[in-house]
């Protein structure tokens, strides 16, 4: 049981690297006329919403990865702010643009993930040790 929090912190590194790649892929779709992969952007979302979406994901993932690499003590707060931006974007997308039946559950699960990761970053001993808390 003692190794699980440390492994979870490592999993968060992989998760945020994936989010970074996802955001960069989405941003490339916005600037390139065609891409050689199936699009990752939701076609229901207008360009300004997609910009907010991809930049919020980019900011949160970079905050975590840079903070993790540097051992920056403000990483948990920076990630929480990034997740807050992502949560606002998710709220607007869910209430204004998305139409699928599972959108409310998806939003609730996304918010739960943000909350759980945030609590972990502020309270778990491996995160506190890594970020000097």
Check whether 126 has a pLDDT greater than 90: yes
Residue 100 CB burial class (10 angstroms; 0-12, 13-18, ≥19): exposed
Please say whether the beta carbons of 35 and 28 come within 8 A. Answer: yes
Burial class (CB in 10 A: 0-12, 13-18, 19+), 15: middle
**Nearest residue to 86 (alpha-carbon basis) of 61, 122, 65:** 61
Query: pLDDT, tens digit, for every residue of 26-61?
Result: 999 999 989 999 999 999 999 999 999 999 999 999
Residue 25 pLDDT class (50, 70, 90 cuts): very high
Lowest-pLDDT choice from 16-25, 34-43, 111-120: 34-43
- pLDDT bracket for residue 1 (50, 70, 90): low
Please report, for the chain, the start and end positions of each structural domain, with discontinuous segments joined by +.
3-131
Q: What is the mean pLDDT of residues 97-117?
A: 97
d(CA 101, CA 107): 12
Mean pLDDT of all residues belonging to the chain:
96
Q: What angle do CA 85, 52, 109 make, to 5 degrees?
A: 50
How confident is the model at residue 6, as a pLDDT? 94
Q: Which helix (H) or strand (E) holds 125?
A: helix 125-130
Per-residue pLDDT at 105: 98
């Amino acid at each position: 049981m003692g190794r699980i929090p440390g492994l979870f912190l490592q999993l968060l590194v992989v998760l945020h690297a994936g989010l970074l790649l996802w955001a960069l892929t989405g941003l490339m779709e916005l600037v390139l006329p065609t891409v050689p992969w199936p699009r990752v952007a939701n076609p229901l979302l207008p360009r300004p919403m997609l910009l907010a979406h991809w930049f919020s994901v980019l900011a949160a993932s970079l905050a975590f990865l840079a903070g993790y690499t540097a051992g920056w003590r403000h990483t948990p707060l920076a990630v929480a702010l990034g997740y807050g931006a992502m949560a606002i974007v998710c709220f607007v997308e869910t209430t204004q643009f998305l139409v699928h039946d599972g959108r409310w559950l998806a939003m609730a699960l996304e918010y739960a993930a943000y909350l759980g990761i945030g609590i972990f970053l502020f309270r778990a001993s491996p995160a506190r040790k890594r970020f000097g808390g």
